[in-house]
Structure 1
């Protein structure tokens, strides 16, 4: 039985983030970036998906303004992709963001049409109801144009 849990312990956050992100090199293969996600996750709202006692995925939200939270990092173990875990993580995070009083959610990813893995990610965010906001062609670098999606919580 899958369960979504808000994680508050610093060490648990680091352990879960490391376990999931290291298992997803297609998205988190750059060591410096992965370590940064792990470090930053400890100060963010952190949701974990558990199947029995096995962690299968996580999602973090960070405040980018008094009105907006960013889905800053998310990962689900590959063998659990397409089982609704990412959606459940997101729905729990969205509910809490709304209850706390935020107005918007945003997420950044590589623009559609550059890499198959990220095209799947784009389709996932669109399926959740995110809308295209803006593309920054060189925010990260010229090979990874940054697509920003937004969603109203009102």
Structure 2
């Protein structure tokens, strides 16, 4: 497996669409999925490749001069639990540290609402993220937004 930074707009869009459409449990709301695809083209975009097949990707966006947000991430289900998400994250974390950022943040649905998102929460906690704040209605009352943070110092 190889992790690569993608800069081409069309490649980003193609990879994001392919992977997010294959993950309806997390990206089943078409409007939200289309926004992730569109937004990913302007963000730092890392892809995991097995041979030449994209198996996962991760995007970072700057939310302040000190903070990058892991804005979207997806790994094909058949590649889950093989370390791909962790490798993508470690590459992104290294990039953030080397470029002078102090924090990483990520938003997801709060633990205890959906099994798929409970697994996502455990993944982020396992990477070393810490709970920062919950916004109960940011995404609607059925999807309370959990924000996790990580210091890079």
TM-score bin, normalised by smaller chain: over 0.9
**Structure 1 segments of 4 or more deviating over 4 A?**
none
In the alignment, structure 2 segments of 5+ residues that lack a partner are none
For 2:65 and 2:139, the matched residues in 1 are separated by: 24
SS at structure 1 position matched to 2:132:
strand
1:110 CA displacement: 0.3
- The number of aligned residues is 153
1:23-102 correspondence to structure 2 within 5 Å: 23-102=22-101
Q: Report the TM-score, using the length of structure 2 for normalisation.
A: 1.00
Aligned CA-pair RMSD = 0.3
1:28 CA displacement: 0.2
1:32 CA displacement: 0.4
Q: Report the TM-score, using the length of structure 1 for normalisation.
A: 0.99
For each residue in 1:103-138, what CA deviation from the matched residue of structure 2 results, as whole angstroms up to 9, or x when unmatched? 000000000000000000000000000000000000
In the alignment, structure 1 segments of 5+ residues that lack a partner are none
1:56 CA displacement: 0.1
1:35 CA displacement: 0.3
For each residue in 1:51-99, what CA deviation from the matched residue of structure 2 results, as whole angstroms up to 9, or x when unmatched? 0111100000000011000000000000000000000000000000110
SS at structure 2 position matched to 1:144:
coil
